[in-house]
Amino acid sequence: MTSENGPWVDHLPKEINVTIPLTSEDEENGNKINHLPRTRKILYGIDDTPGTCLLPLFALQQLMTSIGAVISIPLLTCTVICADDLPEVKAGVISISFFVCGIGTILQNIFGVRLPIIQGASPNFLAAIISMMAADRWKCSTEIPVSHTVNGTTDLPWVVRVREIQGNLMLASLTQIVLGQLVLWACC
């Protein structure tokens, strides 16, 4: 029977022979490593699916490894937008992060390359956000936050900072798209 990835997949070895040579440090420490090849069996091949009883365990493992990144970036962003002392804002930003990561993961698994990964927040723009909010205009004040009124709408200071960040990041992303389409990077 040939797999859907081609006949070459069926001929891949299910066992891998690994030889670990002794180093001078091992010999000095008295470590005796067997020079015979070690055989490790591959539990799951390319097209194999783990049993249904193991899937929740693997899902929990994936969740535990990715939760740090999904939570840390919104917490850093809350610090930058001066919402450290506002638990409702922190909870809202983290909830939005989880929701968007879930939507991104579902879309990636349905329409994307279908890798078993969680689409999380990207730390790429974090340095730009921090440097943008370091300007004197956006410094966090120790006074009680005063609402800003713009165009008849009253907003808290952290909302104004989030809007500033969103606009600047959209402009930076648009600039990146334009430069990529113009292929200006190829001449440099």
Integer Cα distance of 72 and 74 in angstroms:
6
Q: Is the pTM of this model over 0.75?
A: no
Q: Write the DSSP assignment of 46-74 as a string of letters.
A: SS----TTTHHHHHHHHHHHHHHHHHHHH
The pLDDT score that the predictor gives to residue 88 is 93
Q: Does any domain span residue 118?
A: yes
Q: Does any domain span residue 14?
A: no
Domain count for the chain = 1
Note down the domain range covering 107.
52-127
Q: Does any domain span residue 188?
A: no
The pLDDT score that the predictor gives to residue 171 is 92
Helix pair 87-111, 55-80: axis angle to 10 deg? 130
Of 93-102, 116-125, 143-152, which range is least confident? 143-152
Q: Does any domain span residue 34?
A: no
6, burial (CB in 10 Å: exposed 0-12, middle 13-18, buried 19+): exposed
Helix H segments across 112-156? Answer: 126-133
Q: Which helix (H) or strand (E) holds 156?
A: none
Position 103 confidence tier, pLDDT thresholds 50, 70, 90: very high
Q: Which helix (H) or strand (E) holds 143?
A: none
Residue 165, number of CB atoms within 10 A of its CB: 19
Integer Cα distance of 77 and 71 in angstroms:
10
Q: Does any domain span residue 5?
A: no
Q: Does any domain span residue 114?
A: yes
Q: Does any domain span residue 166?
A: no
pLDDT in tens, 55-87: 888 888 888 888 887 889 999 999 999 888 899
pLDDT of residue 33 exceeding 70, the answer is no
Residue 56 backbone dihedrals phi, psi, to 5 degrees: -65, -35
> What is the rounded average pLDDT for all residues in the chain?
77
The pLDDT score that the predictor gives to residue 90 is 93
